[in-house]
Chain A
Amino acid sequence: MAINFSVNGRPVSVNAPESTRLLWVLREELKLSGTKFGCGAGQCGACMVHIDGERMFSCLMPVAAAQGKAVTTIEGLSPGRMNALQRAWLAESVPQCGYCQSGQLMSAAALLAANPRPTRAEIKDHMSANVCRCGTYPRIVRAIERAVREG
């Protein structure tokens, strides 16, 4: 059965078993490989995407649950130019290996959309859903604060 939703503003129709996780549809069928597979269990946040503007672990979400919804991936976060968060990420040299950073940015973008001026405590609490093996946490916090400051 076809499952219809939009990805980064474009309508897609997917034929996949309903329980297939959205992550693999994005990566394998739609070739949007910026969203990463980390733990497959909703514990690391490397797979984070937005569903109707709210962050979601795409490694857990059955593709059928995306029916009719608007999915945004890192590729669709700010197409063609860097947004304030991405510019701040570069200014603070946040990524080391970078594998988790798509998920980090998607989480941070969801935070600022809901709370444009978060406190440091709110940033740390919100970003605790995302794990970074390289330990870039202090830079992530600084980058979010910079994005808030510099817009």
Chain B
Amino acid sequence: MTTRREFMVGAAGLTFTVLVDGCAAMRTEERSAGAALASAPAGGAKAVNAWASLAQDGTVYIVNPAVEMGQGSQTAIPLIIAEEMDADWSRVVIVPAAPDDKIYGNPGFRGLMYTAGSATVTGYWDVARTFGAQVRRVVMENAARKWDVPLAELSTEPSTVVHAKTGRRLSYGEIAAFAQVPAAAPTIRLEELKKPEQYRLIGKDVMRVELPTKVNGTAQYSIDVQLPGMLYGAVLRGPVEGTSPLTIDDAQARAVAGVVRIVPSARSRAWCASCPWPSASA
């Protein structure tokens, strides 16, 4: 897989846009990458891009391309990226991806943003690790230039580049303030990635990031989304598979306050109402 990366300097830090050629899932065009950048949250300090950004205050923004259904995808993919970045996990903020298959599609799922079939962690595995390693490399190259030392003398600790010979250290946030970004991304071969015994995060007991929201009622589910003017629907199906109503008497349903419309179909009736209570009771 050949890869091509675009790096951009954001208002408050480094932003990295991933453009991967040679991989149907990730092939993209300049404009879709631009659209992803444009859709990033405004507000200066949060220079979030297509995959990750480093803010000068040390916050590391990492995009999650998968849906959280309780199996931990929302934590796992950003954690894999953070592992190879050597990012300080306690400073990572996970940002939901914009719906764009070209940028965020799962290579393991025909390039679609589809979270299913136990294909998420395995599908993004190489891509996520490679991208994280490229971000780390760019950060290290900037530190090497700043200190005028060979890249090979540098190492990283979580969110910190270290020059052991002289004891100098620079945080990723500090580097984000002066970093220059190459036009072409550094090439990272899979064999250059961390070995399992070097992992700080993968394989460790890291709490899923969404868990606290699931014990205090703040986790948002589809049923919790409210939009102006939205209607609520409910479907009444036959009690036995394959049956159809012989007659439909919807007088009682129509009499329920808030019912907007009753939609008959071959096998069911559907209600649309201005609030969910009539839908559930009609």
Which residues on A are within 8 Å of B, measured CB to CB? 17, 20-21, 24, 27-28, 32-37, 40, 73-75, 77-78, 82, 86, 89-90, 93-99, 101-102, 105, 134
* Alpha-carbon separation in the docked complex, A20 to B275 (Å): 11
Contact: B217 with A32, CB < 8 Å?
yes
* Alpha-carbon separation in the docked complex, A93 to B209 (Å): 11
Query: Nearest B residue to A98 by beta-carbon distance?
Result: B214
Contact: A97 with B69, CB < 8 Å?
yes
Query: Nearest A residue to B217 by beta-carbon distance?
Result: A34
The binding surface of chain A is classed by DSSP as: loop
Q: How many A-B residue pairs have CB under 8 A?
A: 70
Contact: B224 with A33, CB < 8 Å?
yes
Which residues on B are within 8 Å of A, measured CB to CB? 69-71, 207-208, 210-221, 223-224, 257, 275-277, 280
Contact: B277 with A36, CB < 8 Å?
no
Given contacts A24-B275, A95-B211, A134-B70, contact A73 B280 (CB under 8 A): no
Given contacts A90-B211, A93-B211, A105-B215, contact A17 B221 (CB under 8 A): no
Contact: B211 with A99, CB < 8 Å?
no
List the B side residues contacting A90 at CB < 8 Å: 207, 211-212, 215
Contact: B207 with A93, CB < 8 Å?
yes
Contact: B207 with A34, CB < 8 Å?
no
Given contacts A93-B208, A96-B71, contact A20 B216 (CB under 8 A): no
* Alpha-carbon separation in the docked complex, A102 to B218 (Å): 10
Contact: B217 with A102, CB < 8 Å?
yes
Pick the residue among B70, B213, B215, B280 that contacts A96 (CB under 8 A).
B70
How close is B208's CB to chain A, nearest CB, in angstroms?
7
Contact: A86 with B216, CB < 8 Å?
yes
